Amino acid sequence: MKGGTVSFDLLLWLSPIPLLLLKKMKTGYIIAAILVGMSGLLLSSNCPYIYLISGFLFLLFLCDLRYIYERNFRRILKNHSIVKTGLTAEIEELEKESDSLKTKIILLSEEISTYEMLYSISRILVKQIEQEKLIKEIKAAVMLVRPTLKLFEIYPAGVKTRERQIDDQNFQKFEIPIILKKEMLGILECGLVKKDDSAHFADECKIIAAQTALALKRANLYKLVLERSRLDGLTGLYLRRSFLQRVNENFLLSKRYNTFFSLLMIDIDHFKKINDTYGHPVGDEILKTLSQLLRAAVHPDVLLCRYGGEEFAVFIALAPVEEVQMLAENLRKTVEEHTFIMDLKVTISLGIAYKHQVENTVGELIRKADESLYKAKQSGRNRVVEWK
């Protein structure tokens, strides 16, 4: 066997081996390459058959290893594919369940928020008896739970609802009457951005309206009782107790900020004679008319009181002495010139006391104003007297 031939034989023997290293090369192609190499070796060399057989066995051994490797690799890929498919399916199921849980959580949170809103409103309705605060707190509770809500208003009976222009197509407005035993107590006006939610919220508003009806009725009764406890039923002016309470408050503020005030005591001249001559109904009409004249003649911030019987009190804050004197004289003239029921003419006497004449208490102010009134009546009535 010559050197050149040996080298060529070795090249033929070794040529299939690199094919074994190619992972993507199939085993059948490698065996075909080995057979080609062997046939080329048989045709080109005179080497002993023992070397040919041993080389052939060695190549078969390498092919077997390659076959085992590919078989295990395919099995691993198959298992990996099965596992991947299973995991993908499980992940999809978990994602579906997660989405379902998220939806349930959102719905549950909305239900909880609605429950909390209704619970808060029920607490407000039970506790609150002042109409303005009641409406304000209900509105705050609803707007807190419903951030998408554009408007929520409660209009008590007698209050005109606002005219609102709806420009947004997604905006839906509705009104629910607040009725209790066929009595119209107000209107609940509401509008939502999301129309899909309006029907559900309308049902909630009906519950709110039903509860609000009871609360508004209670607030109205409380207001009525409060007014009757503070105001005189005949004249509509402050009763003596409420008037003194307000005067005391103003007296303390005046001492703190060193402001000025005055007190007028007014008495109808010969009122007992009018009652005895024309009867008490005529006397009541005179009292009502006089209270209207007083209210029309003074500023809304001035405190008016039916102090007792035919006696009235007027508390004036911040006005200077000259203005108070002019007001008192105008009141006297207005009453003197007015024609009362049955064409009766009535006059009044007035006594005035000022802050700088008082040292400590409101009682001292009232006493001095009353003494001035007594002097006016002693001096011939139908006049104004200042305390000196």
> What pairs with residue 312 in β-bridges?
266, 306
Catalytic, out of 204, 310, 336, 386: 310
347 contacts 338 by C-beta, under 8 angstroms: no
> d(Cα 192, Cα 171) in Å, to the nearest integer?
6
Burial code of 348-380, b = ≥16 C-beta within 10 A, e = fewer?
Answer: bbbbbbbbebbeeebeebbebbbebbebbbeee
Q: Is 188 helix (H, G, I), strand (E, B) or coil?
A: strand
Q: Which among 237, 306, 241 has a CA at the least distance from the CA of 268?
A: 306
Alpha helices in the chain (DSSP H): 3-14, 17-21, 27-44, 49-127, 131-145, 198-230, 240-257, 271-278, 280-297, 321-337, 362-378
Residue 196 tokens, joined = 């899909």
Q: Tell me the residue length of the chain.
A: 388
Is residue 310 part of the annotated active site? The answer reads yes
CB 30 within 8 A of CB 61: no
* Distance (Å, whole) CA 73 – CA 134: 78
| Pair of tokens at residue 115 | 């429950």
Contacts of 189 (CB under 8 A, 6+ apart): 151, 152, 153, 154, 155, 161, 173, 174, 175
Phi, psi of 46 (to 5 degrees): -115, 30
Q: Which residues are catalytic?
A: 310
